[in-house]
Amino acid sequence: MRQLRRDRMRHRRRRKRRAIAPDALGERLVFAASRNRMSILQDRQTLTKLSIIRDPSGNNLLQVAVKNKKKEAFDYLLSLPNFPLNGVNDNNETALMMSLSTTREERGVLPPVKKYFAAELIKHGADIHSVNRVGDNLLHMAIMHRDSTSAILLMQRGIDLNAWNSRGYTPLHLLLKSRCCKQYYEIAAALLFYGADPKAQDSRGVDVFHCALSCTRRIGRLIEQLYYYVFDELERYEIDLRCLMQLALIRSPVFEEIIELDIEVFVKETNYAICFIFLLEMNVKYLRIFLERFGELMREVVLRGSTSMFLGKFYWTQNSQYIVNLSVLLESHVSRHLIDFFTTLNCALYGSTTMKKISEAQASDLVLFLLSYGMNLHQVDLAIVYNDYGYGELFQYLLMMDIEWDLKNDSVPMCILPVLVSNVALDIHEIIENNSEYSDIHDLVYHFAHPKVKSYLLRNITKGPRFEKIHKLPRVPLLKEFARDAFRKFFVQKFDIKNSRQFYTLLKQLPTYPPIKEIISFRRILYNV
């Protein structure tokens, strides 16, 4: 066994020796540059050949060292007099371009050694005006890979600071669209210092200031820098309402300075929807400024608000600022249009205004607030309130509202118990026969032991504690269950009741015991399983 291992080791050493010393001189030098074999590179007999040797991809030895990230070989070759720094390979790339590019294995992150290569090549006079296959110049490439040292060196050497790449971005535009990093502000300040045009537009006509605001809100310092380069008190300036609102959202001191200037505010057709959302998100101080300064424009924004964007933004958020701003808007000149907007939602108004856990008293105040401005409640509101607070005061209060039910057109499965409680004309057996989809059907075990209901539950609940509860129900339903269901049906037919408000108003007037009323209204459970 040991002899076999020794033989394998000898075989590996022989293969390694063959790899270390290729027969052809060119192969030996390429291998040396790719492995930091300095003894081969520094051999006097090969010195005159170093500048002309190429690998199969057309890379000279300096490019081979860059490609393989070999610092010793790179430093030695760079120190040689008259070595061709600007030689190109088969892909028309120079060593400097290769230093500012990443491979698939590097996944877009430029290694420190490549940043070192780029800086040294620039210092030694490598050509800085080359462009890669996608139209990026070297400054675009340095910014893209967050190489602030090379970027500043390129600026100092006189690279074109306002050149467009194939996507129509100047270096400043590209910086603003890139992910924020530690070198972000350093590169931006250097670009402005060395003469990048702060009023330059990209291929779509978007200037730097608007680009900065539309890309991210985490650039407060940069916005202040750009403001002093872009704005002049003696000039009239056009600014997009979306960008002005974004300044308000980040509470930038620049906002109040711009408001005092001679500005003309415009809105792109595609931005009305997002501007409406911004109105509800911003601090109330800035909201009042917009309403006072741009009254007609705010009316137009509310008129063109997007219901789908509104629901997508707020239905699953916990934004308390929304309620405060809604109150301010409803007290302003846009109130009528805002109410019209909410009536077109055809969805849960209470549910879309807050998903944050608040007390039942706060939720009651919110509902009263919405109703006081003529807004309507939706069937889902009732289900959400029941889910959050149970059969409490707020739920009972909503039962006294005229809420229109349309179970067929509701895309979200409703909780079954609030549907039964509020749809007084609806019978449990109708639900079972229609095979309608409802959530939380396990709640039925506390109120029904009818064989058909049990069969319905067993079809939909097949395991777990809820399944066990079904089997704990009595074989014969209580008389109270039959009496409750019969009374509800008789009561609705006798008085021609159309909604829950009529039903529970009349129920309160009946001269019977409160526990009986609680059973009729499903407030009291019949089966404690």
254-304 per-position pLDDT tens digit: 888 888 888 889 888 888 888 988 888 899 999 999 999 999 999 999 888
pTM above 0.85, yes or no: no
In 3D space, the residue among 211, 168, 206 whose CA is nearest the CA of residue 188 turns out to be 211
Q: How far, in whole angstroms, is CA 137 from its chain's centroid?
A: 31
The domain boundary residue, chosen from 345, 378, 403: 345
Residues 195 and 278 in one domain: no
Based on the fold, state whether residues 251 and 291 are members of the same structural domain.
yes
pLDDT, position 21: 46
Q: 10 Cβ partners below 8 Å, 6+ apart?
A: none
pLDDT band at 476 (very low <50, low <70, confident <90, very high): very high
Region 210-234 average pLDDT: 70
Whether 73 and 127 share a structural domain:
no
Does any domain span residue 482?
yes
149 in the same domain as 120: yes
The better pLDDT of the pair 526, 414 is held by 526
pLDDT in tens, 88-101: 999 999 999 999 99
What rounded mean pLDDT belongs to the chain? 83
Tell whether 225 and 237 lie within a shared domain. no
How large is the average pLDDT for residues 433-454? Answer: 84
Q: How confident is the model over 338-353, as a mean pLDDT?
A: 63
pLDDT for residue 87: 92
Q: What phi, psi does 106 have (nearest 5°)?
A: -80, -15
Of 345, 367, 386, the domain-final residue: 345
Contact 244, 273 (CB under 8 A): no
Alpha-carbon Rg for the chain in angstroms: 37
Q: Is 383 within a domain?
A: no
Q: Answer yes or no: is pLDDT of 46 > 60.
A: yes
Residue 237 sits in the same domain as residue 181: no
With respect to residue 360, please indicate whether it lies within any of the assigned structural domains. no
The number of folded domains in the chain is 4
pLDDT for residue 182: 67
Are 481 and 447 in contact by the 8 Å Cβ rule? The answer is: yes
CATH of the domain at 218: 1.25.40.20
Torsion of CA 412, 525, 477, 448, to 10 degrees: 0
- Select the more confidently predicted residue: 415 or 87: 87
| 146 and 182 share one domain | yes
Predicted local distance difference test score (pLDDT) of residue 410: 52
Indicate left, alpha or beta for 240 from its phi (over 0: left) and psi (-120 to 50: alpha). Answer: beta
Q: Which residue has the higher pLDDT, 152 or 23?
A: 152
Residue 282's domain comprises: 233-345
DSSP SS3 for 419: helix
Please say if the pLDDT value at position 411 is more than 70: no
Q: Is residue 388 part of a domain?
A: no
Q: Percent of the chain beyond pLDDT 90?
A: 33
On the question of pLDDT at 314 being above 60, the answer is: no
Residues 66 and 191 reside in one and the same domain: no
Whether pLDDT at 160 is above 90? yes
Task: Please state the rounded mean pLDDT for residues 303-324.
Answer: 62
In a domain, 376, yes or no: no
- My answer on whether 171 and 243 are in the same domain is no
Residue that finishes a domain, picked among 330, 345, 360: 345
Same domain, 302 and 198: no
Residue with more model confidence, 286 or 189: 286
Nearest to 57 by CA among 92, 100, 105, 108: 92
User: Would you state the pLDDT for residue 459?
Assistant: 87
**Residue 362, in any domain of the structure:** no
| pLDDT tens profile 55-88 | 999 999 999 999 999 999 999 999 998 899 999 9
Confidence of residue 122 (pLDDT cuts 50, 70, 90): very high
Q: Are residues 165 and 225 in the same domain?
A: yes
- Report whether pLDDT(503) > 90: yes
In a domain, 392, yes or no: no
Residue 389, in any domain of the structure: no
**Is it the case that residue 10 has pLDDT exceeding 80?**
no
pLDDT of residue 340: 80
For residues 101 and 204, membership in a common domain is answered with: yes
Assess whether pLDDT exceeds 70 at residue 480.
yes
- pLDDT at residue 315 tops 60: no
What secondary structure does DSSP assign to 254-290, as a single string?
Answer: HHHHHHTS-EEEE--GGGHHHHHHHHHHS-HHHHHHH
The answer to whether residue 196 scores a pLDDT higher than 60 is yes
What is the per-residue pLDDT for 254?
Answer: 85
Specify which of 4-8, 105-109, 176-180, 313-317 reaches the highest per-range mean pLDDT. 105-109
Query: What would the mean pLDDT of 372-395 be, rounded to a whole number?
Result: 78
Per-residue pLDDT at 49: 86
